[in-house]
Structure 1
Amino acid sequence: MKTCKEKALEWGISDRSVNNMCKTGKIPGVMKEKGVWKIPDDASRPVDKRVTSGKYIKRELQEEIKPLPIGISDYVRAQSEYYYVDKTLLIKEFLDQKPLVSLFTRPRRFGKTLNMDMLRVFFEISEENTAKYFVDKKIWRCGAEYRAHQGKYPVIFLTFKDVKFDTWEATLDKIRGLLQEEYGRHRELLTSDRLVEYEKEYFLKILNGNAGEVELTASLERLSKMLCTYYNRAPIIIIDEYDTPIQEGYSKDFYEEIIGFMRNFFSGAFKDNKNLSYGFLTGILRIAQESIFSGLNNLTVNSVMDEEYDNYFGFTETEVQALLEYYKVSEKKKELREWYDGYLFGNEDIYNPWSVINYISRGCIPQAYWVNTGKNEILEDVLKIATDDITEKLYSLLQGEKVVARIDQNVVYRSIAEDPANIYSLLLVAGYLKTPKKELQMDGSYLCEVSIPNREIAAVYKTEILSHLLQIGAITRTTANKIAESLFANDHSKLQKAIGEYMDKSISFYDAGAEGFYHGLVLGLIALMDNQYKITSNRESGDGRYDISMFPREARYPGIIMELKWQKDMDIESLDVLADEALDQIDDRRYDADMKNDGMKDILKFGIAFSGKRVSVKTNR
């Protein structure tokens, strides 16, 4: 027999609704014991067939339709008060495999913290009977061998998701505070006669916030020993978003300090720690190159490339379909897929959970919800160091094309400067790319076709590229608006003037460069076209290879062909002649052949010549 609360959780309605059903005799077999309704385990939810007023329906919907868990990472609250996508089979898969220490790397806001809190609630010893939070979940139906682990372990839980500070001193203070709170959760140790006096003295030092850096590095190891002594069972250690302070250290110039601290901190907790039952870590990056996990041969890494646990972070197609049906917006499935689907974790097609729940909760208005939850430092760093080849590939990605890239899962932030090609690995693990095709190499890396997952990520590429151009002074907002407006109004003369202004302002902020530099600069226009054009470069057409071609996606826009020339130390008269030569080359080599074959009649042709900071633009139809 079950209580009203347990049945309410099972049926996804309020306790009061179940209590009313019991009172009115709608549930067969109910009985009252000591003032509490008892409901048969196999009782089904009654169907209300009454004809009701619109007012009553509205009140019932408000009461029974659960809100979406935006920003909720507390498992107990998420599964009881909000619509919860059941990920508890993660527990079964873990218990089947039993790795000693597991690292899950996924993009931000893909459910890592909520899943780790779920593991904590499931495994942790508690005065409260926490089994009630799982009786209606998938893990409970898996059998007694899995239920036997529920509530049987002491747990150490830390989340570093908010450790974002500008200095090492402030970062260490925050970590000290987190450890202080976690030690406070285990105050029972202070009253134990199983712990010796020096252990209690150390415990109090952490609890009072008086521990120094060296003492803090040993805090996980020592707490695990004390918990094992007290409970006669080794604890589980869970570290959520372990690499957040490391990312901050990289961008705020205290990288060596945070790496040195974390190396000792994790080594004591996970390396040769006999007082450890299991360990879980989550993050975005696997930072093996920094030797944080040096010698930790019991670490099992589960990344976006791996098939294990591939459907437990983010929403699957089936889960999204059920969610859309629950909120009665199934007709939005196509739009939602275009905007927020497209991630590939292992072999599983995954939706961005943060964006999906925001989309539905805000009236199914498609926006870039995920990318607005924080700064996009990765793209900023990429644009700062991108080579001409990388810049061109980024613009190709923005146009929906696939590019070939080598993916190294051990890449770290500072490796961008060492080898700019590592940017694809960073973009993948951070959620900015997907891998439709991958092939494992002998050195453990992957050779992949990569592409942008969906319209949301395409929007952030576009925004970041435009922001980058504005920050370095290459283009003003006024010029950007002129280009967009001229395309929208089909004003060819205004478009010619705007492009000329763009080129003039771009070059005025740079020293002399080679033709490839200018080529990449012109490709910056792609960020302003708002999907009105398909941009291609260095492709064969007619009797040669054009530099840049812009094929309109709608017939009302003209086709655009650009040929670029560059020479050193030219005066303006010579530069005009070179621009005319570039323009003539478009006609001489019939670069417009592909456009004409497609039936395009309105074609703008630009001959653009550079010399240092000077530019000359010539155009005709």
Structure 2
Amino acid sequence: MEQQQKFYPVGIQTFSEIIGKNYLYIDKTEYVYRMTHSASKYMFLSRPRRFGKSLLASTLHCYFEGRKELFKGLAIEKLEAEWNMHPVLHFDMSTAKHMDKERLDSELERKLLEYEEIYGRGKGDVEVNQRLQGVIQRAFQQTGKQVVVLIDEYDAPLLDVMHEDKNLPILRNVMRNFYSPLKACDPYLRYVFLTGITKFSQLSIFSELNNIKNISMDEPYAAICGITEEEIKEQMSYDLGLLAEKMQITRDEVLAKLKENYDGYHFTWPSPDIYNPFSLFNAFNDGKFNSYWFGSGTPTYLIEMLNKFGVLPSEIGGIEAVAAEFDAPTERMTNITPLLYQSGYITIKGYDSVFDIYTLDIPNKEVRIGLMRNLIPSYITNDTLTTTTMVVDLARALSRGDMDAALRLLQKFLSTIPYCDNTDYEGHYQQVFFIIFNLLGYYVDVEVRTPRGRVDMVMRSWTTLYVVELKLDKSADAAMQQIDLKNYPERFALCGLSVVKVGINFDTKRHTLADWKIEPVK
């Protein structure tokens, strides 16, 4: 029988709609059964935005309502025998973003009113915590069934004020007050599940609710959100064929491009490679490999926090840390690593079991280029369109192996953009180069160790490895002499690529390249 193509659920997070309207659903119901039949009835899952957390909450909602017909043919159909119905209180906190205290209080009251219209409101229920407790108790009393509480994106009201010392404590207290009845209502509760991006400490947000099981880094739940390569091959095989035909490339080439752009996430170790589902479905839907995750909106809090902690573009990836340092409460963080990890801008890339230390880096091409584009205004210019056009011209020059033409383009570009503050030091231009050549999709690293010192920058194209030394108000000759004196290229002799030395001198008065020298290593 000919297989029928399903629609891709781009932006759709309601389980019943996906199942009822012939959308593609990657079966995660085995995890639903595992979660709901475990020793803990309080669970928390942290995953980056647009990774399927809301769909998971919606799936749990339908499961606890006993809607067995929706799960026909899915893994849980064979696992679950009872299908008990429970009253479900489902709170989506994504509607409570960008609010002050008064508006947040009003939004929480509105959410409670929806369930008070079903279960009633007690005369003494005034504050939102009293009203939540009252709704839970009455739902239990009226149905005779324990209540399920689902709180999706619990941290949404706090993300945009995370960098604000004044507003964060105020809104955090509002949310702490709202969640406070969950511990007292334990006898009336069957299951409590919270999702979020960041991990706030139990003390500051959940008051006395100290029995939440955080499954975010538990190996059995490594692939609970996102899509694995195995799931693509098994559940999207037909779709792979369609995409390959549309793009006029082979299935293997399609998989390689999908992997390069959207794969590479790991939320524990060991873990299968996890693809970003939002970007993956968009790519299948459009037949293009665009930057969908970043296109859906880079949170302003990220850029604010990068500035607050003074993190350079070249310092975002390549980090080693123990779990307690990156899977940590964000309001107590002393560096930006927990926020970068929990938001999905860096992910686990390796683990040293001897020293219990993880390697963290940027997941894939989409995230790397998206990050660099969002950093352009801070380091180069607010005119991102002009920068993007310049990068395309650079790419054309370097695809011909013409570094001289590329540097002439860069010289002209830097001389025409407005002067930025704090550019009179070598490190600024190093970061400018780092951003621009990352936008080209090249491998770039700074301060690379060699036997005789550190190279300012190493860049690698498909055919050539460039060893780059930067100078400020000196000369390109001085930069090249340092490369030769310390024999930097020796470190890369066995890389299998042509090695080219590049010495560059910047003029701080003109704020652009003054001169440069380019010499192939023979």
The 5 Å alignment of 1:138-537 reads: 138-142=75-79, 146-148=80-82, 150-184=83-117, 186=118, 189-190=119-120, 199-201=121-123, 215-250=127-162, 254-271=167-184, 273-288=186-201, 291-303=204-216, 305-327=217-239, 329=241, 331=251, 332-346=254-268, 347-349=270-272, 350-363=274-287, 365-377=288-300, 379-385=302-308, 387=310, 391-394=313-316, 397=317, 402-407=318-323, 408-409=325-326, 411-413=328-330, 415=332, 419=334, 422-438=335-351, 447-471=357-381, 477=387, 483-484=394-395, 486-488=397-399, 492-500=403-411, 508-511=419-422, 516=427, 519-531=430-442, 534-537=444-447
- Which residue number in structure 1 is paired with residue 16 of structure 2? 76
**Structure 2 residue 33 is the aligned partner of structure 1 residue 92:** yes
1:75, 1:295 → 2: CA distance? Answer: 32
Aligned-pair identity (%): 24
Equivalent residues of 2:262, 2:366 under 8 A apart: yes
TM-score (norm 1): 0.71
TM-superposition CA deviations, 1:66-125 (whole Å, max 9, x none): 212222222222123222222222232123313121111111222211121221122127
TM-score (norm 2): 0.82
Q: CA RMSD in A?
A: 3.7
Q: Which has the larger radius of gyration?
A: 1
Equivalent residues of 1:220, 1:265 under 8 A apart: yes
For structure 2, the 5+ residue unaligned runs are: 245-250
- Alignment-mate amino acid for residue 237 of structure 1: V
SS in 1 for 2:8: coil
1:158, 1:387 → 2: CA distance? Answer: 36
1:585, 1:507 → 2: CA distance? Answer: 31
Question: What is the CA distance between 1:301 and its match in structure 2?
Answer: 0.9
2:236, 2:448 → 1: CA distance? Answer: 44
> Size of the alignment, in residue pairs?
502
Residues 302/409 of structure 1: CA separation in 2 closer, same or farther (3 Å cut) = farther
Equivalent residues of 1:340, 1:352 under 8 A apart: yes
Question: What is the CA distance between 1:283 and its match in structure 2?
Answer: 0.7
2:13, 2:427 → 1: CA distance? Answer: 48
Equivalent residues of 1:219, 1:265 under 8 A apart: no
Residues 612/287 of structure 1: CA separation in 2 closer, same or farther (3 Å cut) = farther
Question: What is the CA distance between 1:229 and its match in structure 2?
Answer: 1.7
1:509, 1:237 → 2: CA distance? Answer: 50
Equivalent residues of 2:415, 2:511 under 8 A apart: yes
2:222, 2:375 → 1: CA distance? Answer: 31
For structure 1, the 5+ residue unaligned runs are: 1-46, 48-56, 191-198, 204-213, 566-574
1:326, 1:483 → 2: CA distance? Answer: 38
SS in 1 for 2:205: coil
- Alignment-mate amino acid for residue 80 of structure 1: G
TM-superposition CA deviations, 1:227-246 (whole Å, max 9, x none): 12212233111111111111
- Which residue number in structure 2 is paired with residue 540 of structure 1? 450
Residues 503/322 of structure 1: CA separation in 2 closer, same or farther (3 Å cut) = same
2:393, 2:450 → 1: CA distance? Answer: 30
SS in 2 for 1:345: coil
1:156, 1:507 → 2: CA distance? Answer: 54
Residues 497/315 of structure 1: CA separation in 2 closer, same or farther (3 Å cut) = closer
